[in-house]
Structure 1
Amino acid sequence: MPARGGAPVSQPLHRRTVLKCIVAVAASTASGCHDDDDGPPTEDRQRFPQSVASGDPRPDRVVLWTRAVDPANADADVELTLQVARSADFRTLVLERKGLRALAEDDHTLRVQVTNLAPRTVYFYRFVVDGQKHERFSSPVGRTRTAPSDDADVPARFVVANCQDFLGRYYNAWQRLLQLDEDLDCVVFLGDYIYETVLTDAGADPRSISFGDPGSALPLPTAAGGPRLAAQSVSNYRDIYRAIRSDPLLQQVHERYPFIVVWDDHEFSDDCWDAHANYTDGRMDEFEPERRRNAEQAFFEYQPLDVTAAPAGPVGVDSIPRYPDARIWRDLSFGRHLRLLVTDYRSYRPDHLIPEDAWPGAVVMDAAVLLSLGLTAAFAADTFAYVDIDAAQNAPQKVILRAAYVQLAVGAGLSLADAIARAEATVRGNVALAYANAVLTQAGAPPLDPTGKPRGIAFVHLGKTDLFSRLGARYVVIKDTFDIYAAWRFGVTGGASEDALGQAQEQWLLAAAREPGTWKVVVSSVSPTAMIWDLSNKADVPAQVRNRYAFDVDQWDGFPDRKRQLLEGLRTAANERVVFVAGDIHASFASVELGVAAVTAPAVSSSSIQEEAAGAVTAAGFPPGSAVYRYVVTEQEATLREGNPGIAFVDTDSHGFTVVEVGPEAVRAAYHLIPSSEVRTDYSARPEDLAARFTRRDFRITPGVISAV
């Protein structure tokens, strides 16, 4: 049996092919030639159900990928030959490597590092398998392109895309990119390549996914859309990748362009940090290192990444470190003008600053802290008063508050014993009257008098009003008090509270920004664009919500001090020629903050933030027709512009992708957009109709400036 991965094997040379092979070897930097006397192999997508892909192009190498199965024996390894050529007819091979194996233990996937290639050169590739009776079958033909050499004075062009929810949705954005047939160096995919949850009953929807082993999946609480399961086992995650990579449009994009991929949260778990999930909003401990390793295994199986600087030949998944040792941050150069710095926001970051299970009444900055910061006068109002609930005179109120906690916790799904234990551990110490008095009043007890009481900041002052909730924790927090709390935590923890990238990655990033290259483009799965709802001056909204809100503190807005330091450090290191490309938020932004431009690409197909904001605001008690709903949803784009004057462009209700071109003087960004209402319409047989529904917006970026073109 051939060894795992095999070794390169040359074909026997027939006399009439000698001259052809000499020419092939002389014209290429790799080895190989080809005699196709038996005719070309027959393309067989049944044997290659997820087609082919390429990734992480560099001037002299690229990773090629496929998944191959034996229709007669689904559990068998499959032996393959890789062919690489400079022409689509494969008459002259640059490389032929036999004895490769798509292993069942890797879900029949195969990654091959191909080296000794010429810079900025188009190559065609295919995988070939021998059948019975001298039959030969091949994968679809893939086309890839190496990066230009480091000294090449050429512009670099790439697509930025992210967030391609499959369930019930169609990939109109990918179809449009294929229509345009853009001349690209690569596609930069910013994360949420998969979504880890599936509906348990999707009916006959062709855009559904089911698990082959649902018993190994994680049942989730019933929410809008019906009961769901979350991937937990390797098998579950593989099922999702197989389904998504079976989409013909996505296959064609992979067949045409090399991808540079980074993960965000849904490759593992929604709004994750480190190996922690957030499905239960603090009701349960969701530290799941084995689940994280399972997710990473499937990710590395299905993505053509070069994260270990692997030598030429097959790249085994078991050679790629996984949690807690996984490292996917890396940099790639495309000529003199572009250095692409790919970062990992999820693997090292700490928890969100406001815990999802935070008790709203808990004081987090007491009077002594406010005094030390010179903030006593700023928080002198009665709404910031608090008492020590453990004081003897407050014993009756403590009983009521604990009883209320138990009632709310049991209503949220906790057992009575767990609720009582948490109440005893939580309802103690300094308690904000802004929360306590609301509970006491509802219970029919008299409120506590704030007169003469000390002042402080509690979770309720940051926007947290419920026990177990992402609202007021990961989303919709009161910005001004949150920023004060974040800055204090940042100081007392020596910056650890906001160490989003981890020290090693951040040091690498700042050092790489000083390296040669006209422009440094930072690939960030989440956006640095500040998303602020400023309702502080809106007289037609209730007084209690007249605040400035940060919509999403799962992204960089959740680490404001580290974000400021990082942007300032990158701007200085890169001599002001630094641009972020980002995703995650399902909206389009072009913005400048602290002199650093950010291009945030729309989602390929995932629900827009206008849709998501509508759900959040309605859940908070402000239905359509209310002033809050109007500002936050109906007039969302105007509200975001008002809250952040650095926004030059915003579209919160479209899908699509962004084409970025990096030249010596400027960076150009073209947003290709389609209304989110079109996502459930299949345009695969109606290309003209699809093209008519897309619009385009163009922008030019120079150091610290974005202008419409």
Structure 2
Amino acid sequence: MSQSLHRRTVLKCLVAAAASTAFGCHDDEPPVEDGRAYFPQSVASGDPRALSVVLWTRAVDPERPDADIAVTLVVARDEAFEHRVLEETGLLASAAHDHTLQVKVTRLEPRTRYYYRFIVEKDGQRLGSPVGRTRTAPAYDAKTPVRFALANCQDFRGRYYNSWHRLLQLDEDLDFVLFIGDYIYESDSSAVPSPDPARVVRFSDPGSALPRDLGGGQGELVAQSLSNYRDLYRTYRSDPFLQRVHERYPFIVVWDDHEFSDDCWGAHATYTNGRTEEFQPERRRNSELAFFEYMPLDTDAGAGVIDPEELPRYPDTRIWRDFVFGKHLRLFVTDYRTYRPDHLIPEDAYPATVAMDAAVLASLGLTGAFAADAFAYVNIDEFPAQRAVLRGAYVQLAVGAGLTAEAASTRAEALVKGNLALAYANPVLQAAAQPGAGPIDPTGKPRGLAFVHMGKQELFSSIGARYVVIKDTFDVYAAWRYSTSDGAAQLAFGKDQEAWLLGQLREGVSPQTWKVMVSSVSMTSMLWDLRAKPDVEPPTVRNRYYFDVDQWDGFPDKRSSLLSALGGLTNGHALVVAGDIHAAFASVEQGVPCLTAPAISSTAVQEEAGEAVEAAGFPPGSAVYRYVVTEQADTFREGNPGIAFVDTNAHGFTVVEVGPEEVKAAYHLIPSSEVDVDYGSRPGDLAASFSRSDFRVRPGGTIDEA
């Protein structure tokens, strides 16, 4: 049955056809005047392939900011636009999509530089956007090296983008910029004072935002509505240096957590650490739509205008994709956040709850490993007096954490029962000093593994759940959960994405020399080993700790299986590139080289660790503070001998060059203390503030200083 063509379909056909046409000079056409006021977020390009690229802008009429606006796109081989390959009129920057416009241009030439701009016509004038520059990928059989910048985590609030300024200053010859998460942060500036009003984030509709209690009488607003998320992208993209980087290089982008919500999994936020239910699918979909509106993304779209509304959103999202850059690079861009399960230790877990009882440990042959009294537990229902004291203590703690007395009582009845670890229960009973309800003798009691043995000390906390988890006990629990769930407890990529990745890695499917897996979170294992530190007090703190199990350390068995596949299916030519942790790492994990780029501007991990350690009661000057903050880099090296390079107190980016024999990585770093210094008009001082460290990644899994 015949149908009239949809306008969008017509535009797609026109663009596809026009892209193969050479346009001559247009000496008689009116000149293009400076129209930057109509393009407040400038232009951008993304997802370059050998024959296509996606071009983006946001066009707004300052006199009619709520109206749709017609736009012309011009693409040429030269900056003067004399040798045009496309000129398409009648494109619409729609108010329904915050005036954003994306066009996929096809039938281009491989490894070719193109210039582009968008034009609006107003009162007889032709007003143009800034001129963007982009480049297509090399042909599949091209033997040329490929160079890209690796970047992530660009908090805008009260911070300057000195890292982007430096990249522009270097004028690197790059094929693309790979941005691997936290393009925005979902919060406004309520809790982050800024001396510069230009570095402030405010929501135009604060009533539609979500209030977040930060404790201590402090709070902030976090994005919830579509309007809120759009405000964030508009604000971040207002930065002149970020605009210029987008104008100069195509981007390949994937999200991490802050594009939706800190430490998220699927559509679940983690702000309240289990005090409330935080399943927020509508908020998740809002965040994704804004991302699709502002990121030039090619998710197998046909030629022409890309409608963000047509892209599947949660729970059907798919942004994982791959790219071929010549003969030597196959890039697999993965999505760690959308399909992953919950963190293995619940933030609201009762520390005394026995996760693995004596029977489970015996079945695994681990009885001897947990024979000490510290692992003793009892069925607290057999000790009603002690159970009553523990429930009372739970209620008191839960109310102090913000629960109502009724909700706290309900939780106490549900959790303070059955098998409970004496390592947590006895100190509570000792402190309560209730007659007839004292501590319970561990002699002769069964042994098991409880959440307290993994570092969980508080009822509602990320510490002992997402951060600062005792490695050796956590690994036992994680392996058991992995085996008893057929891997589902650690299936970070979900079944479909993992099957796609492994299928593409298999021999013959990807003939490119190097297979590079893009992960928004780091594969480098970050350990604090305090076992042999006699000055660490109290002695119970002398353990090995995973610093951050929101990252791959939190899924150790799945991480191991993926690394094995990467190493085994690539003939030693695998590489993982990552971000998120706000530190620079180069390490070899299970024979696979892993490069983690520092943050563009977000709080360095050394500073974040300092705040956490002080909050836990270990002030500067204590041994714990010295090892895990002051000497953090050395402690990470001791905990993970595979680390070849680490800097936990710097911002910057990494430039990666992939060639036939090796991969080169250059870390460009500026001290994190410089993030609040505006070097915009001081390029010489900026250059002097940066350092550079170079490394070579060789087949078979070695990283050497260059």
Fold similarity call, TM over 0.5: yes
* Equivalent residue number for residue 675 of structure 1: 671
Q: 2 CA distance for matches of 1:702 and 1:474?
A: 34
1:37, CA displacement in angstroms?
Answer: 2.0
Q: 2 CA distance for matches of 1:356 and 1:419?
A: 15
* Equivalent residue number for residue 421 of structure 1: 410
The answer to whether the 8 A contact 2:260-2:284 is kept is yes
What pairs with 1:527-566 in structure 2 (closer than 5 Å)? 527-542=522-537, 543-566=539-562
2:336 equivalent to 1:361: no
Q: 2 CA distance for matches of 1:38 and 1:216?
A: 46
Q: 1 CA distance for matches of 2:475 and 2:251?
A: 37
Q: 1 CA distance for matches of 2:488 and 2:337?
A: 15
The answer to whether the 8 A contact 2:13-2:303 is kept is no
Q: 1 CA distance for matches of 2:505 and 2:317?
A: 22
1:36, CA displacement in angstroms?
Answer: 4.2
What pairs with 1:445-464 in structure 2 (closer than 5 Å)? 445=434, 446-464=438-456
1:631, CA displacement in angstroms?
Answer: 0.3
Q: 1 CA distance for matches of 2:10 and 2:99?
A: 15
* Equivalent residue number for residue 379 of structure 1: 370
With over 3 angstroms needed to count, the CA separation of the structure-2 counterparts of 1:10 and 1:196, relative to structure 1, is: closer
Q: 2 CA distance for matches of 1:111 and 1:97?
A: 13
1:222, CA displacement in angstroms?
Answer: 2.9
The answer to whether the 8 A contact 2:518-2:578 is kept is yes
Q: 2:605 aligns with which of 606, 609, 617?
A: 609
Residue aligned with 1:128, SS: strand
Residue aligned with 2:260, SS: coil
How many equivalent pairs are there?
A: 691
The answer to whether the 8 A contact 2:526-2:636 is kept is yes
Q: 1:166 aligns with which of 156, 163, 180?
A: 156
1:226, CA displacement in angstroms?
Answer: 4.2
1:123, CA displacement in angstroms?
Answer: 0.1
2:568 equivalent to 1:572: yes
Counterpart residue type for residue 318 of structure 1:
E
1:225, CA displacement in angstroms?
Answer: 10
With over 3 angstroms needed to count, the CA separation of the structure-2 counterparts of 1:96 and 1:33, relative to structure 1, is: farther
Q: 1:516 aligns with which of 507, 511, 518?
A: 511
Residue aligned with 1:58, SS: coil
With over 3 angstroms needed to count, the CA separation of the structure-2 counterparts of 1:224 and 1:194, relative to structure 1, is: farther
* Equivalent residue number for residue 189 of structure 1: 179
* Equivalent residue number for residue 341 of structure 1: 332
* Equivalent residue number for residue 682 of structure 2: 686
Residue aligned with 2:188, SS: strand
Q: 2 CA distance for matches of 1:609 and 1:139?
A: 38
With over 3 angstroms needed to count, the CA separation of the structure-2 counterparts of 1:70 and 1:323, relative to structure 1, is: same
Q: 2:139 aligns with which of 143, 146, 149?
A: 149
Residue aligned with 2:480, SS: helix
* Equivalent residue number for residue 525 of structure 1: 520
Moved more, 437-446 or 419-428: 437-446
Q: 1:506 aligns with which of 489, 494, 498?
A: 498
* Equivalent residue number for residue 426 of structure 2: 437
Moved more, 633-642 or 29-38: 29-38
With over 3 angstroms needed to count, the CA separation of the structure-2 counterparts of 1:482 and 1:287, relative to structure 1, is: same
Q: 1:248 aligns with which of 224, 228, 240?
A: 240
What pairs with 1:15-34 in structure 2 (closer than 5 Å)? 29-34=20-25
* Equivalent residue number for residue 239 of structure 1: 231
Q: 2:208 aligns with which of 207, 213, 216?
A: 216
- For structure 2, the 5+ residue unaligned runs are 1-5
* Equivalent residue number for residue 7 of structure 1: 11
With over 3 angstroms needed to count, the CA separation of the structure-2 counterparts of 1:594 and 1:564, relative to structure 1, is: same
Q: 2:463 aligns with which of 450, 454, 471?
A: 471
Tell me the alpha carbon deviations over residues 302-325 of structure 1, each in whole angstroms, 9 at most, x when there is no partner: 000001x11111000111110001
* Equivalent residue number for residue 708 of structure 1: 705
Residue aligned with 1:198, SS: coil
Query: CA RMSD, aligned part only?
Result: 1.7
Q: 2 CA distance for matches of 1:137 and 1:616?
A: 51
The answer to whether the 8 A contact 1:33-1:96 is kept is no
Counterpart residue type for residue 479 of structure 2:
A
Q: 1:99 aligns with which of 79, 87, 90?
A: 90
* Equivalent residue number for residue 14 of structure 1: none
What pairs with 1:222-301 in structure 2 (closer than 5 Å)? 222-223=214-215, 226-301=218-293
What pairs with 1:108-123 in structure 2 (closer than 5 Å)? 108-123=99-114
Q: 2 CA distance for matches of 1:684 and 1:125?
A: 26
1:189, CA displacement in angstroms?
Answer: 0.2
Residue aligned with 1:300, SS: helix
Counterpart residue type for residue 337 of structure 1:
H
Q: 1:61 aligns with which of 27, 45, 52?
A: 52
1:9, CA displacement in angstroms?
Answer: 11
1:691, CA displacement in angstroms?
Answer: 0.1
* Equivalent residue number for residue 124 of structure 1: 115
1:619, CA displacement in angstroms?
Answer: 1.2
2:390 equivalent to 1:390: no
The answer to whether the 8 A contact 1:52-1:254 is kept is yes
The answer to whether the 8 A contact 2:12-2:302 is kept is no
With over 3 angstroms needed to count, the CA separation of the structure-2 counterparts of 1:225 and 1:246, relative to structure 1, is: farther
Residue aligned with 1:299, SS: helix
Residue aligned with 2:350, SS: coil
With over 3 angstroms needed to count, the CA separation of the structure-2 counterparts of 1:226 and 1:40, relative to structure 1, is: farther
Q: 1 CA distance for matches of 2:664 and 2:213?
A: 44
Tell me the alpha carbon deviations over residues 387-418 of structure 1, each in whole angstroms, 9 at most, x when there is no partner: 00111xx0000000000000000000001110
Q: 2 CA distance for matches of 1:581 and 1:671?
A: 13
The alignment-based identity, stated in percent, is 65
Q: 2 CA distance for matches of 1:670 and 1:451?
A: 58
What pairs with 1:572-651 in structure 2 (closer than 5 Å)? 572-651=568-647
Q: 2 CA distance for matches of 1:295 and 1:83?
A: 30
Moved more, 112-121 or 205-214: 205-214
Q: 2 CA distance for matches of 1:174 and 1:694?
A: 12
Tell me the alpha carbon deviations over residues 509-565 of structure 1, each in whole angstroms, 9 at most, x when there is no partner: 112223110000111000010000000111001201010000000000000000000
Counterpart residue type for residue 7 of structure 1:
L
Q: 1 CA distance for matches of 2:443 and 2:12?
A: 83
Q: 1 CA distance for matches of 2:535 and 2:315?
A: 50
Counterpart residue type for residue 251 of structure 1:
Q
Counterpart residue type for residue 528 of structure 2:
W
2:401 equivalent to 1:412: yes
Q: 1:305 aligns with which of 283, 297, 309?
A: 297
With over 3 angstroms needed to count, the CA separation of the structure-2 counterparts of 1:373 and 1:519, relative to structure 1, is: same
1:5, CA displacement in angstroms?
Answer: 7.9
2:647 equivalent to 1:659: no
Residue aligned with 2:626, SS: helix
Tell me the alpha carbon deviations over residues 184-238 of structure 1, each in whole angstroms, 9 at most, x when there is no partner: 0000000000000112374763211100100000000034894210000000000
Counterpart residue type for residue 443 of structure 1:
A
Moved more, 437-446 or 55-64: 437-446
The answer to whether the 8 A contact 1:4-1:100 is kept is no
Counterpart residue type for residue 289 of structure 1:
P
- For structure 1, the 5+ residue unaligned runs are 12-23
Q: 2 CA distance for matches of 1:282 and 1:601?
A: 31
1:7, CA displacement in angstroms?
Answer: 3.1
Q: 1 CA distance for matches of 2:375 and 2:174?
A: 56
1:31, CA displacement in angstroms?
Answer: 4.9
The answer to whether the 8 A contact 2:421-2:450 is kept is yes
Tell me the alpha carbon deviations over residues 479-527 of structure 1, each in whole angstroms, 9 at most, x when there is no partner: 0000000001111111110000011111111122231100001110000
Q: 1 CA distance for matches of 2:696 and 2:240?
A: 33
1:32, CA displacement in angstroms?
Answer: 3.9
Q: 2 CA distance for matches of 1:556 and 1:670?
A: 24
* Equivalent residue number for residue 3 of structure 2: none
The answer to whether the 8 A contact 1:151-1:336 is kept is yes
Residue aligned with 1:409, SS: helix
